[in-house]
Amino acid sequence: MNKVKRTHIFNLLNKKNPSPTTELIYKTPFELLVAVILSAQSTDISVNKATKKLFAIANTPETILSLGLKKIKRYIQTIGLYNNKAKSIIETCKILLEKYNGEVPDNRIALEELSGVGRKTANVILNTVFGEPTIAVDTHIFRVSNRTGIAPGKSVLEVEEKLLKHVPDVFKRDAHHLLILHGRYTCTARNPKCGSCIIFDDCEWKERKKHIKH
């Protein structure tokens, strides 16, 4: 896919959704960090239901630690892998208090030292909280990038690197949310809504889909 096509695609996505953002509900950087940790292999809807109750009781590192592991598990037990996620949240709270005065750090190295935080989660925090032009590649973005031809790659890291290289600078800050929302509601894994897709004319999938099983 050439630069002209990519630019046109992001212009269209941005026109449809000029202020894209996460669908996770949060009020502070710490709340978003917890929500993103919980969101691994879980839907934003399920996370929001759990955090609505959790954050009403505890929404800082101090109050989370005071709540304790067993009680945290009760609040998030409807979320997949909740046992491990509860432990990660507890450990992350300890690190935040010991090293960062309870604040969420604004650099990748520090973020990835937190329990339950990998490259994708760090990218989400850097982008959504601190406004950095990072692009966290989840299953939706990986699918859209490969299917459309925007940034094809065999691995998450390869797709991320190609997106950072090819997405026009003006759209890099919003690219993560533009692509994830497009993948979530239009370019779905099964039965993508090509008939109502605003970027269909520029999408390269239609040229290949005869040879793709979907």
**Dist CA 9 CA 183 (whole Å):** 14
The one catalytic residue in 120, 154, 202, 209 is: 120
User: Which residue has tokens 């491990």?
Assistant: 84
d(CA 57, CA 75): 10
Buried b / exposed e along 174-203 (16+ C-beta atoms within 10 A)? bbbbbbbbbbbebbeeeebeeeebebbebb
- Residue holding tokens 């520029």? 202
Nearest to 136 by CA among 85, 92, 169, 180: 180
As a whole number of angstroms, the distance between CA 64 and CA 55 comes to: 9
Helix intervals (H) in the chain:
3-16, 29-39, 44-57, 61-67, 69-76, 82-100, 108-112, 119-128, 139-148, 156-166, 172-185, 205-208
**E strands along 54-170, which residues?**
none
Which residue, chain included where needed, has tokens 């040229």? 207
For residue 103, the 8-state DSSP code is P
First to last CA, the chain: 21
Q: Which of 16, 27, 138, 165 is catalytic?
A: 138
Please confirm, yes or no, whether 138 is among the known catalytic residues.
yes
Catalytic residue numbers?
120, 138
